[in-house]
Amino acid sequence: MNPKNKKPTFLFPILTMLLFVACQTVENKKPLNILWLVSEDLSPYYLNAYGDFRAPTPNLDRLAREGVVYTHNFSVSGVCSPSRATLATGLYPNAFGAQNMRTLNQQAANREIGIVDYQVVPPPEVKMVSEIMRENGYYTSNNAKEDYQFFKSELAWDESSLYAHWRNRPMYETPFFSVFNFEVTHESRMWNFKESTFDGGEFPPDRNAIKQKMRNKKSNVPLLTPKDLKVEVPPYLPQNEIGENAMRRMYTNIIRMDKGVGKILDQLEEDGLSDQTIVVWYSDHGGPLPRQKRLLYDSGLHVPLIIRYPNGFRAGERDHRLISFVDFPPTLLSMAGIPAPSYMQGQAFEGTFKAKTPRTFIHGHADRFDERMDMIRAVRNKRFKYLKNFHPERPYYLPLAYREKMEVMQELLRMRDAGTLDENQAQWFRQTKAEEELFDTENDPHELNNIADDPAYSDVLATLRAECNRWIKAIDDKGFVNEVDLIKNFYPDGKAQLTQVPIIDIKEGKVAVNCSTPGARIGYRYASEKAPHKGWEIYKEPITEKPNDTLEIITHRLGYKYGITSVVNGIKGETTYPPNRHDLKRK
């Protein structure tokens, strides 16, 4: 054979390698699905993955083996509504007036002093992070808790309901961001043992079965732990049978929650999506027991976080970086390859836009809880926690009717009145507070020994105090604004503000839309295509009319009432503002 005609044999492996790299590049560009599994009222200390083996949690254990356990993850608040305001927006709650628990549904005593039901109004540039995901091609579903201190953006979810699921997306190829909430570990389940929707239904759920569960206010759910299970009761709770039973009930609820998580993970596997999905499991704040929920001790702020990445990436690792809930929205976007908007106050801890410098501090706040008011700010580094009490003249313990439904809380009050509390239990019932508190969380994990006056820690105290002051100024902390005045700012004329009537221009079958309200979002849908699992289309360019079909246009700014305007055959109709539950309540 003529050497000039011989094909070079080295080209084939090179071409094969280039083709492989090209295929990998295309594959890597395919967006990953992201699944948030959110438990309620749960500290990490009581889980196998964090060293407590009393409650069998095979599904969480599997996530921990196949993923990363984050050991220093913290909520911004010890209660759900402010925490979820941050998870939805990427802002600290006290940066935009969402710090009080809660705003959408007030106690009667609050209404008497002018604190009525109200929506917090975020700054005009703020969007719910799920809306940003939708803008970037994701199908978004929420099952089913909202509770953001404002009514959800009507453009935030394709579906937000008890039936919401990634399986409802119209096209299988569409990437999804789906959230499932597990209420079974909530504080109320310490006395109200009703079944939870995703304790374990299959999907699609049986609607009649769900309705029955909603009617069953007190199902008889037995303890799933042995009656003689040896438990370790925190020193600030009753060291007796009532305290022990509270721990067993909490472990039972953890077991039930784990079963619900397992059902969702099974569905992910059934759909062949495990290797295309980032699974994020966490709780919305600390534990359900007295001196846990609502407080800024680690028992109220420290929360578990496990993330499983596709294809075994980082499987079995433990990550000790400080992480705050304010980091979750930019991290969600970063995982999807989307840059976070500049208004977000956290930093991505994973993904394409992962921050180069880890956190040095996390921050927390406590303000009004139901009918009781206080104001505390917290700063924590890896070891030390600083608390600034703005009302040292007020007691630590706030009597809340809701919490006092819990038997273990009733027992604490009985012991207080009988004078039988020990030193640790009695701390919570002190009638005044120190202006500053400092705790060594390594040597004092229950934060019972205030070392703020110890000269050995004066440098630590000064550093954390300075950081607290810096943070308060940096975010323009709204805790210093009287809540009645906040409401007046949000509701200038005593009523919710309206998103302005849109400006609609119709030419040659094209409908162009604009809205003068700063921060208003625009969406649309055709009446013939409406479906519970299909959200409003996000308006990006003039819409093509369909003959004899009603085009509905929605305009909505967060914290305002939204308007809907119809267009049929080139004729614009009136703009209507559908009533929300505040309107119905005030009639």
Active site positions, annotated: 80
In angstroms, what CA-CA distances link 362 with 72, 201, 381?
10, 37, 7
User: Which residue do the tokens 């619900």 mark?
Assistant: 260
- Who's near 336: CB < 8 A, 6+ residues apart? 31, 32, 34, 133, 136, 138, 175, 177, 351
Contact 95, 118 (CB under 8 A): no
157 strand-pairing partners: none
DSSP 275: G
- Taking the C-alpha atoms of residue 64 and residue 85, their distance in angstroms, rounded to an integer, is 27
- Taking the C-alpha atoms of residue 189 and residue 192, their distance in angstroms, rounded to an integer, is 5
Contact 34, 310 (CB under 8 A): no
- Taking the C-alpha atoms of residue 350 and residue 99, their distance in angstroms, rounded to an integer, is 27
3-state secondary structure 216-273: CCCCCCCCCCCCCCCCCCCCCCCCCHHHHHHHHHHHHHHHHHHHHHHHHHHHHHHCCC
The closest of 98, 143, 101, 133 to 119, measured between CA atoms, is 98
Element (H, E) at 89: helix 80-89
User: Which residue do the tokens 């990998």 mark?
Assistant: 24
DSSP 372: B
The closest of 220, 201, 112 to 162, measured between CA atoms, is 201
- Taking the C-alpha atoms of residue 489 and residue 62, their distance in angstroms, rounded to an integer, is 48
- Taking the C-alpha atoms of residue 469 and residue 363, their distance in angstroms, rounded to an integer, is 11
- Taking the C-alpha atoms of residue 446 and residue 298, their distance in angstroms, rounded to an integer, is 8
Output the six-digit token pair for 1.
Answer: 């054979």
In angstroms, what CA-CA distances link 448 with 53, 365, 437, 455?
25, 19, 10, 18
In angstroms, what CA-CA distances link 401 with 81, 190, 393, 554, 560?
18, 14, 22, 40, 31
- CA count, 13 A, side-chain hemisphere, 121: 21
Contact 447, 297 (CB under 8 A): yes
- Taking the C-alpha atoms of residue 467 and residue 459, their distance in angstroms, rounded to an integer, is 12
Helix axes 80-89, 328-335, angle to 10 degrees: 40
- Taking the C-alpha atoms of residue 106 and residue 205, their distance in angstroms, rounded to an integer, is 32
| Residue 454: φ, ψ to 5° | -80, 115
